[in-house]
Chain A
């Protein structure tokens, strides 16, 4: 925690800011990319959202109170950015967010930045049927392999509630894959 406080101080100090921010970027760009890509599904969109996320992180660093960890604060910004992006894109196309995600999944087969097969596509289709919160919990636990404590800090819920949420999500996903 002391290390983190020191690191945040370096990020806020104009003299050390650039080097510290570069360290932040190289440490978090891959996990945050995966997190965002799992929500928006397509590389170009993930790239846009990831850039916006880091720009917002930079802009709001001075307001960061240190009440939560830097890691969970950044994940929260990334999640909000990705969900806002999805909703705006859906609105622009005049369809629901679920319909947009289904459309994106249908296009995955032709996506050069996707090398999955039928089971991956079926799993994605199963996830889209879940409520938004369960989708997030499932993706963060199953794909990103984050700990319940970390997810709890990012989403601001209790570990118990998350476990229940993940359990329900897994059941629904299994049912979908079995019956489709």
Chain B
């Protein structure tokens, strides 16, 4: 068989063709794609980092809810425990309490001690420490 020599043969072309008018609208096609790429706006929900950040924020807020609730609760005293504390744990004496009273409180107290004359006399006569009470 005769050896094939490229230089002895007529030029062999690739045989590749393009569709008619392919190059006529090629540049327009490319320019359109470039413009589309330039104005491409990525919606917020498609931004992976933003979504991850939002999930993290919601998660942290969720974790903090019980902490905040407990923090507030611990600062609230109910009346009964406050009273119990003041009665049994503190060193408050009569003078401390009197110092905390203002005019309105004293007026309130006056109303409460509006006793009948007879009752008052009975109490005074039956109380052996009457002298101490008067001096105070």
Q: Does A33 contact B (CB under 8 A)?
A: yes
Number of A-B residue pairs, CB cutoff 8 Å, is 74
Q: Which residues of A contact B27 (CB under 8 A)?
A: 22, 25-26, 29
Q: Which residues of A contact B (CB under 8 A)?
A: 18, 21-22, 25-26, 29-30, 33-34, 37-38, 41, 43, 47, 50-51, 54-55, 58, 108, 113-117, 119-120, 123, 142-143, 170, 173-174, 177-178
Query: Are B15 and A115 in contact, CB atoms less than 8 angstroms apart?
Result: yes
Determine, out of B18-26, B63-71, B103-111, B120-128, the stretch whose residues face the partner at the interface. Answer: B18-26
**How many angstroms from the CA of A170 to the CA of B31 in the assembled complex?**
40
Interface residues in B40-73 by Cβ distance below 8 A to A read none
Q: Smallest Cβ distance from B117 to chain A, in angstroms? A: 104
The bracket for how many chain B residues form the interface is 20 to 34
Dominant secondary structure of chain A at its interface with chain B:
helix
Q: Which residues of B contact A26 (CB under 8 A)?
A: 27
Q: Smallest Cβ distance from A127 to chain B, in angstroms? A: 10
Specify which of B4, B22, B34 is in contact with A178 (CB 8 Å cutoff): B4
Query: Are B30 and A25 in contact, CB atoms less than 8 angstroms apart?
Result: yes
Specify which of A41, A113, A117 is in contact with B17 (CB 8 Å cutoff): A113
User: Assuming the A-B contacts A29-B26, A142-B6, are A113 and B19 also in contact, with contact meaning beta carbons closer than 8 angstroms in the complex?
Assistant: yes
Dominant secondary structure of chain B at its interface with chain A:
loop
Q: Does B29 contact A (CB under 8 A)?
A: yes
User: Assuming the A-B contacts A116-B13, A143-B14, are A18 and B19 also in contact, with contact meaning beta carbons closer than 8 angstroms in the complex?
Assistant: no
Q: Smallest Cβ distance from A166 to chain B, in angstroms? A: 11
Query: Are B31 and A37 in contact, CB atoms less than 8 angstroms apart?
Result: no
Question: Which of B3, B26, B29 is most buried by chain A, counting CB atoms within 10 A of its CB?
Answer: B26
User: Assuming the A-B contacts A142-B6, A174-B3, are A116 and B31 also in contact, with contact meaning beta carbons closer than 8 angstroms in the complex?
Assistant: no
**How many angstroms from the CA of A18 to the CA of B29 in the assembled complex?**
13
Q: Which residues of B contact A (CB under 8 A)?
A: 1-6, 12-19, 22-23, 26-27, 29-31, 33-34, 37
Q: Please, which residue of chain B has its CB at the minimum distance from the CB of A177? A: B4
Query: Are A174 and B4 in contact, CB atoms less than 8 angstroms apart?
Result: yes
Q: Smallest Cβ distance from B19 to chain A, in angstroms? A: 7
**How many angstroms from the CA of A170 to the CA of B20 in the assembled complex?**
33
Specify which of A21, A43, A108, A142 is in contact with B31 (CB 8 Å cutoff): A21
Query: Are A114 and B30 in contact, CB atoms less than 8 angstroms apart?
Result: no
**How many angstroms from the CA of A43 to the CA of B6 in the assembled complex?**
26
**How many angstroms from the CA of A143 to the CA of B15 in the assembled complex?**
10
* Pairs across A and B, CB under 8 Å, 8 listed: A21-B31, A21-B34, A38-B14, A54-B30, A108-B15, A113-B16, A142-B6, A170-B6
Query: Are A58 and B34 in contact, CB atoms less than 8 angstroms apart?
Result: yes
Nearest 7 interchain pairs by C-beta: A116-B15, A25-B27, A120-B15, A177-B4, A178-B4, A113-B17, A54-B30
